[in-house]
Every structure is written in structure tokens, then in C-alpha cells.
Amino acid sequence: MEKIGFVSLGCSKNLVDTEVMLGILKERHMTITDDLSLADIIIINTCTFIEKAKQESIQAILDAAQYKETGRCQMLLVTGCLSQQYKEELLKEMPEIDVLLGTGSWDRVWEAITTVRQGKRVCFMDDVSHLYDQKTSRLRTTPAYSAYVKIGEGCNNACTFCIIPRVRGKLYSRPIESIVAEVESLAKEGVKEINIIAQDTTSYGVDLVGYSLLPTLLKQLVTIKGISWIRLFYLYPHFFTEELMDLIIREDKICPYVDLPLQHIAQGVLERMNRKDSEEDVRKLVKKLAKKDRKLTLRSTFIVGFPGETEEEFFQLKTFLQETEFDDVGVFTYSQEEGTPAAKMTEQISEEVKEERYHTLMAVQAQVSEKRNRLLEGTEHTMLIERIEKEGEVCQAVGRIEIQAPEVDGLTYLDNAETVCPGDMVRVRIVQGFAYDLVAELV
């Protein structure tokens, strides 16, 4: 049996594409290996969101290509956003690549492999006009108790800094019945945590009916037996309604976790970014979310060093973080991405200033996060156990409580964990809160 090795880079949305491709190949009686030196076929699913991601993708391709000389690799497939954006350059400059698949061509992976075996090089770049569904084979690479579910593809927002609409296309939402059927199937497989993802999750359904169908979808998902946590990612402000807010607070299965990718707060920067929501809109929404007796954990991402960002505008952003007290924040330095309107803007900010602003904002947020986590001391939560660490007689469990998302947030550490196993969900009390992580005890 041929062995497939893979590297999946970038976001969780990209990971789902990787899992679907692996599922298709497993149906063709191929096995998966973690050791690329033993792989007959290697798939690199790439990211091109920012310059660092682009460079990481290129290096991963170069590293994988070496296994054609030092390992068993007979075929190298490059897929995803980098393939979509730079197909001509990759075909010309990297002859080691046998297959290029764009973001809408994941379902042609077997066809591509078959074509290469006939002695041809392959480049499939189809429109993103379809998504996987509940019937599509998928080999999950996440732990057995947790899964990502992609409810939509593409984006209609046209932010000036973002290449995603160009490489992923316009918003395309899956039918509700398809998503519900998939989650029901995952529940039967033992999945307890469902992580709902899309490029803009609150816009789900707008392309179908003209308004957000996210609340309608969630009302069906919460009825599925076996699912304990439903976590929502990438909740853009524009379609964040009162109904959605109340639903998150009211439904126990929906994690009280609000991930708002705000990017900035200064009106001038928001306008240059072509964001749909004004500074006033954002402040009103955040105030509402923070007012709910602080039952909701607030997370956001921000960009510093956007073209033309003045010291005053950066100070507004810094003050906004201090006043709002987000529980967690991700900060990115602006990346001048080829093909985006922002890349052509004058008043580009120097890398030195970007880095200075990045570290300033992270230092501010570290203080805020530590304050927020200390306020959790003495409170009780449900903890999902992810792994057990043993050192001599000491046994410690590592996992997450309901307000900590996989990959992006801190962890919770549980001492005296001899009675728990990975995948267990147990009640704990927080005993210590630090800037990023928590320490808990069993209740």
C-alpha cells in the first residue's frame, strides 16, 4: 500500500481541507504516515495569508522536495492558498512539484495523482463553488473528542489588507441540513467538542437568504445528543445580532466564548481597511458583550502598523484594549500582501515601528489577561482533559476549560490527576490565574 505524508499549514479551515483530501485517498486504500521520509506521496497544504505564512509554505515545499532524493517520495502535491495565488511562479520555479491544486480543487486529488502516473504534470484551479458535505470521506487529524466543522467558504468583506477573497472566492454557505448531519455523525463517533469555522462565521447564510442563518443553525446543533461544547470562531461584528448574543448566553452547550476579529478601533484605520463596521458600531457591540455580567469571554485580533496608522490612532487602539479588558488578544504586524489594495497605499509603516507597536500592545494585553485570569480564581468550570504528564510520582493533566479554544488560547493544568484520562470532561475549580494559563483542582 502506498503511504501518504502531509503537512497542513495555516488556519483550521485549511486543516479541514487537508482532512478531506486524506479521507479521499484513504478510500483508495492508501495509508497515512507521520514520517515524510517513508511517504510515497507528500501533500503540502499551504497558507498565504501573511508574508511569514508564505515563507513557511515555501520552505515546507523545499523540505518535502528533498525526500525525492533522500526518501521514498515519488510525487509532490502542493495545494491550498499559495497554489491558488502563485500557480504560474510555482510551476516555473519549482520543477519538483508534480501537482498544484487550488482551493476549489481538493476533491480532484485522486484525479491529479492518476494523471501524474500517466506522465503528466497537473495544475487544477477550479472555482470555489462547492464544499465538502456529510457524505464526503474525511480523515480527522484532531483528537477523537474534538473536531472542526466548516460551515462556509470564501468571504464578501473585501478588507483592503486581505488576500482571502482572491484565493478563496466569495461567500459560499453549506446547507443547514448538511452541517447538522455531519455533527450528528461526529457525535456518534464520540466527538464532544465542535468548533464551528468559516472565514466570516456570522455571515453564514447571507448568500442563501440575505441574512445570517447562524442562530437558526445553532438552535438545531444544540439538540444533538453527545455534543457537550459548541465553540464559534471568527464572529465578525456586522451580523452579530442580539439574537445570537442571547443564544450564546442562554444555551449551555454553546461555549460562552466570543471571538471577534476587530483588527482596529480608530475610525480612520477602519475606513482604510474597508471594514463594514465603524468605530461607533464596534464600541456599541463590545459594550453590550461586556455588559452581560461578563458571562462572555471576549477574544479579538488586531493589526498594528497598517498603512497610515498614526501615533494617535495606535494610542486609541492601545487605550481600547486597556479599557475593554479582552480576555485574550492576538496581535499581527501589518503584512504588505501582493494583490491587495493596501499594498499599494502610501505611508507604509517601517518594520521597526510595526515591531515596536506589536510589543507595546502585547505587553498591555499580558497585564490585562493576567488580571482577567486572576478573577477566575475560585470559580468552577468544566475542563476537557487533553493529555496526561507524569514526572516521577507527580501526575498532571493538561487541558482546557470552556473559555479556552484549541490552538489559540492558554491551557489549564490540573494536579493530582491520577483518576482522569484524555477526553474526559471533569468539574474543576481554578486556584491560580496567570497571564496565559490556569491552574485548577478537581471539585
Look up residue 362 and give its amino acid: M
**Residues sharing a CB contact under 8 Å with residue 248, sequence separation 6 or more, in sequence order:** 232, 254, 256, 258, 296
Residue 162, marked binder: yes
Reference 224, options 178, 187, 250; nearest CA is: 187
Residue 123, marked binder: no
Report the alpha-carbon angle 198-426-424, nearest 5.
65
**Residues sharing a CB contact under 8 Å with residue 56, sequence separation 6 or more, in sequence order:** 9, 47
Residues 305 and 116: their CA atoms lie apart, in Å, by 44
Residues 99 and 117: their CA atoms lie apart, in Å, by 11
Cβ neighbours of 34 (radius 10 Å) = 9
Residue 73, marked binder: no
Written in H, E and C, the secondary structure of the chain is CCEEEEEECCCHHHHHHHHHHHHHHHHCCCEEECCHHHCCEEEEEECCCCHHHHHHHHHHHHHHHCHHHHCCCCEEEEEEHHHHHCHHHHHHHCCCCCEEECCCCHHHHHHHHHHHHCCCCEEECCCCCCCCCCCCCCCCCCCCCEEEEECEECCCCCCCCCCHHHHHCCCEECCHHHHHHHHHHHHHCCCCEEEEECCCHHHCCHHHHCCCCHHHHHHHHCCCCCCCEEEECCCCHHHCCHHHHHHHHHCCCECCEEEEEEECCCHHHHHHHCCCCCHHHHHHHHHHHHHCCCCCEEEEEEEECCCCCCHHHHHHHHHHHHHHCCCEEEEEECCCCCCCHHHHCCCCCCHHHHHHHHHHHHHHHHHHHHHHHHCCCCCEEEEEEEEEEEECCEEEEEEEECCCCCCCCCCEEEECCCCCCCCCEEEEEEEEECCCCEEEEEC
Residues 387 and 398: their CA atoms lie apart, in Å, by 5
- Give the residue numbers of the binding site for [4Fe-4S] cluster: 11, 47, 81, 155, 159, 162
- Give the residue numbers of the binding site: 11, 47, 81, 155, 159, 162
